[in-house]
Amino acid sequence: MLKYLVIPAALLCATSAHADEGQWQPYQLPQLKSELKRVGIAIPAEKLADLSKHPMSAIVSLGGCSASFVSGDGLVVTNHHCGYGAIQRNSTPEHNYIANGFLAKTRAEELPGGPNTLVYVTDKVENVTSRVLKDVTPAMSGKQRSEAVERAIKALIAECESDKFYRCSVPAFHRGLEYYRIRQMMIRDVRLVYAPANSLGDFGGDIDNYEWPRHVGDYSFLRAYVGKDGRPADPSPDNVPYKSKDFLVVSAAGLKNGDPVLLAGYPGRTSRYKLPAEIRYARDAAYPAKAAEIQSDLNVIAEATASSEGNAVRYASVVKSLNNVMKKTRGLVDGFARKDIAAIKDVQDAEFRAWYGKQPAANKALLAELDALIAADIALSDEEFGYGVATTGDLLKSGSTLYRLAQESAKPDAERESGYQQRDLAFIKARLNRLEQSYVGSVDQARLVAALQRYAKLPKSMHVSGLDGLLPSVDAVPALFAQSQLGDTAQRLSWVGKDAAAITASDDAFLKLAVKIDGVTQSLKERRKELDGNLERVIPQYMAAVIAWKKSQGKPVYPDANSTLRVTYGTVSPYSPKDGITKGPFTTIEGIVEKNTGKEPFNAPANLLEAIKAKRYGQFKDPILGTVPVDFLTSADTTGGNSGSAVMNKNGELIGLNFDSTYESITKDWYFDREITRAIHMDIRYMLWVMAEVDHADNLLKEMTIKYPKK
């Protein structure tokens, strides 16, 4: 049964790659020398595989977005939407940095990014598969297997984090076939340095999201600070800028159609190896339900904040995030309708099963067991979706977090549920504290009322066993808020560290509700643990066989994205979204004038329009376009989490920032279609031009190392 469980790492690399598909682990790049040479990348593959060397040592994660160092003093560049939380945190109706932008002319003027603004610097990746699976036996139940893996992972993390300088993780690759331990330095004093006005940094807003052509300056700057000893420290006025070992040189030389690019970042999640049944579930049930749920929640927030600008500002980051997920989810639904990916996968799956059946060592029961487990996973996912709807709301989530923290804190640290260990305490406090900037009682109450009404209308398959009778009636919700103090930040944080008995004895309405539903919550988690353990037993065997099959065909074999450091490559490329229509790879600042209406979201700043009208192109004028470029397209393989990723030229110099994909490309999370898959990047020349001609960020231009085109 376990013959396919662990295979040599070399098998995970293809003998040749096709097109520009692939989100490659850095260690795989030496296997792709011919491909990198074909595209035109000049950096040696061995250097790209070394995390301690430039340019990989300059690539960082923000925990959901990607970024890169662009100076030796910890200056970080990323997307505007990735820095949005820090911008919103510091905004008030009197000082609305969302609307007006922000620029610190000196270090002293830089603003705190807040406890959720973090910079992660990856410095070590090691294969720990054998250590994770050392205690796993074929006779284990799913839960036993899951718990054995979890114990091993916790031990590996604790070993790695014996130096508090680091934050470590052990994610699975190829759906549990391999495990790698990732060591990252976590910098927790991160400050907002510069962000353009929202009408520039988010020009086109949600209307243009995932669309092409685009004309958005999606960039912002942060700075990483550490203690005087050079080690990460809590935010303090005494901290000093982090001396980044390496940083990217910024190139204003630009690109042209067909030029190669290299992209590095932390892509979130892809599902390229999912089975046809999983695709059909996502297409026909999961994504439509998710889209409907998000839209309903957005409608409630809009109505509840309509009469208050202050409340709208508080929920701006929440709304922006929900809108982004909504647009992508709808794009997936539309993409599945446009191209029958399930049918394509049916053909591939049939070919694989035919090949697998001819292998002498094939486990004849494997595929039938896999199909049964996938069906069970789909059924449980329905219940988990329903649970998520029923428990919408910040105070209910806060109460549940506090009670679970109290329960877990009574156990030895190694035995606690992941996410509630001592190492997680700072993150829990940060989440609880974050509501200071993004919570209004009346809005949260409206969201919970509407969510309970939606939950009641869901199909029975989405109702969690035992939950319905424990939930409050809609009429009882106002009393819950009136009888709870969790809306107050100090009161909310005061429960951190209290034991379960204290919380059980509390008369706070949301703590009482959290205690009431905790049994059902844990039962749902236990069922998930049993199922996941069985999936983790079977799917790695399946994936090992799939990899062997693909390798026999010379096809690319890379793991699905899982928020770890990946490298992809491609070329500047136009595309044809439909017959008779071809879209070029560049947009220019003149397009901003054409789109501008003076009303959101197409309300470009007056000083920007004036600079365009005056044709103050400076040294950022493209010789072919005859003006300043704004955004461009490439064939690079990206997904969510790649936002803010450094787009580099063949020499590893920063020439753009990834921020989006075309609408037709959204289904690339499931299937890479090389003809229409395009990533959207901001041209670094536009950023530099705005900094020089519009926002006069001269201090930052001087701080960065910029290579200007030869005259």
Q: pLDDT category, 577, cuts 50, 70, 90?
A: confident
Pairing of strands 250-251, 706-707: parallel
Q: What is the mean pLDDT of residues 110-136?
A: 96
pLDDT in tens, 149-196: 999 999 999 999 998 889 999 999 999 999 999 999 999 999 999 999
pLDDT in tens, 556-565: 789 999 999 9
Q: pLDDT category, 16, cuts 50, 70, 90?
A: very low
pLDDT in tens, 64-78: 999 999 999 999 999
Query: To which H or E segment does residue 531 belong?
Result: helix 509-552
pLDDT in tens, 457-516: 999 999 999 999 999 999 999 999 999 999 999 999 999 999 999 999 999 999 999 999
pLDDT in tens, 32-74: 999 999 999 999 999 999 999 999 999 999 999 999 999 999 9
Cα(472)–Cα(453) distance, rounded to whole angstroms? 11
Cα(337)–Cα(343) distance, rounded to whole angstroms? 12
Residues labelled catalytic: 81, 218, 643
Q: pLDDT category, 579, cuts 50, 70, 90?
A: confident
State the number of CA atoms in the 13 A half-sphere of 619 facing the CB. Answer: 12
Cα(138)–Cα(155) distance, rounded to whole angstroms? 22
Please tell me the total number of residues recorded for the chain in this structure.
711
Cα(226)–Cα(233) distance, rounded to whole angstroms? 5
- Do 217 and 694 meet the contact criterion of CB atoms below 8 Å apart? no
- Average confidence score pLDDT of the chain: 94
Q: pLDDT category, 3, cuts 50, 70, 90?
A: very low
Q: What is the mean pLDDT of residues 441-454?
A: 98
Chain centroid offset of residue 118 CA: 14
